[in-house]
């Protein structure tokens, strides 16, 4: 219901799912069949969140296919965008743009492997980026991993770090992030108010790490040395600056609304020690 003074109009809560040439294009994430009740199949599933930049999609997927470990599958989520190339991977399309949070929920629902590895088209693998992340998740105290960490002493301001050795951080940068499928199912779904990517990675990392107030949180660990090239996040380059800033602020408030008192989840930047010359 959309109010306008003394008048109102009714609109659908979500776009309809439609059949296009025998393929269902989904209007909401929970209409996508889930694999949560199926036993895990394989070490990991890559969730590739396609962008409107077809060239970036092609470059990233071609590079990924060249280095994908045996037994690791991939799901491509085309959220309101055309995927204009042939692929052997499962492709899930939406009938209208649903937003980053919904797209991530769709990918997680279709993941079959023990681990979920989310990749943005801005990431171009030059080697196996999957196996080191899967291996790091074998440690029970670790909830989320990736090559780029985010540190914060107050959960309000976050600083990106790329450590030279495996290091604890507050959150993992979302362009390449991995976590256990079972944890995503237990802690989910992702808040679909995150229609834009900024701060969604922070929210997701904290959700996965949080064991409740009074309990020691699990860890986010930045894994150094993964072989990939990194460009501008696909969703950022296609978003006007003013809209980007507005959506980023809105997403930051979503994080604060949930975690503003949870300083136990903060991991500040390490103190740099040096010797005066």
The DSSP code sequence of 204-243 is HHHHHH---TTS---EEEE-TT--EEE---HHHHTS-HHH
- Residue 1, pLDDT score: 47
Q: What is the pLDDT of residue 14?
A: 76
Residues of the chain with pLDDT under 50: 1, 236-237, 275-277
Q: What is the pLDDT of residue 247?
A: 84
The confidence score (pLDDT) of residue 275 equals 47
Instruction: Give a three-class secondary structure readout of 28-67.
Output: CHHHCCCCCCCCCCCCEEEEEECCCCHHHHHHHHHHHHHH
Determine the 3-state secondary structure of 181 from DSSP.
helix
Kindly report, residue by residue over 24-76, the tens digit of the pLDDT: 999 999 999 999 999 999 999 999 999 999 999 999 999 999 999 998 999 99
CATH level 3 topology of 15-263: Spore Coat Polysaccharide Biosynthesis Protein SpsA; Chain A (3.90.550)
**Which contiguous run of DSSP H or E holds residue 203?**
helix 200-209
Identify the pLDDT of residue 11: 52
Closest C-alpha to 220, from 202, 205, 203: 205
Question: How far is residue 40's CA from residue 38's CA, in Å, rounded to a whole number?
Answer: 6
């Amino acid at each position: 219901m959309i109010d306008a003074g003394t008048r109102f109009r009714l609109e659908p809560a979500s776009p309809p799912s439609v059949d296009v040439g025998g393929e269902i294009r989904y209007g909401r994430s929970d209409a996508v069949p889930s694999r949560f009740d199926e036993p895990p199949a394989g070490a990991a599933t890559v969730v590739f969140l396609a962008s409107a930049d077809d060239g970036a999609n092609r470059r990233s997927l071609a590079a990924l296919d060249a280095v994908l470990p045996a037994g690791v599958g991939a799901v491509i989520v085309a959220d309101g965008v055309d995927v204009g190339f042939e692929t052997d991977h499962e492709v899930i399309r939406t009938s209208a743009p649903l937003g980053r949070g919904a797209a991530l929920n769709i990918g997680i629902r279709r993941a079959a492997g023990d681990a979920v590895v989310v990749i943005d088209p801005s990431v171009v693998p030059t080697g196996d980026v999957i196996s080191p992340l899967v291996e790091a998740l074998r440690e029970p105290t670790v909830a989320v991993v990736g090559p780029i960490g985010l540190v914060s002493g107050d959960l309000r301001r976050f600083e990106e770090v790329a450590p030279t050795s495996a290091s604890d951080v507050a959150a993992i940068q979302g362009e390449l992030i991995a976590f256990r499928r079972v944890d995503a199912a237990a802690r989910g779904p992702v808040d679909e108010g995150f229609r834009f990517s900024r701060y969604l990675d922070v929210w997701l990392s904290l959700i996965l790490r949080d064991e409740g107030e009074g309990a020691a949180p699990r860890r986010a660990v930045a894994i150094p040395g993964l072989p990939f090239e990194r460009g501008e996040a696909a969703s950022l380059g296609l978003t006007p600056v003013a809209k980007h800033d507005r959506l980023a602020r809105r997403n930051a408030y979503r994080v604060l609304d949930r975690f503003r008192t949870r300083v136990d989840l903060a991991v500040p930047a390490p103190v740099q020690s040096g010797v005066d010359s």
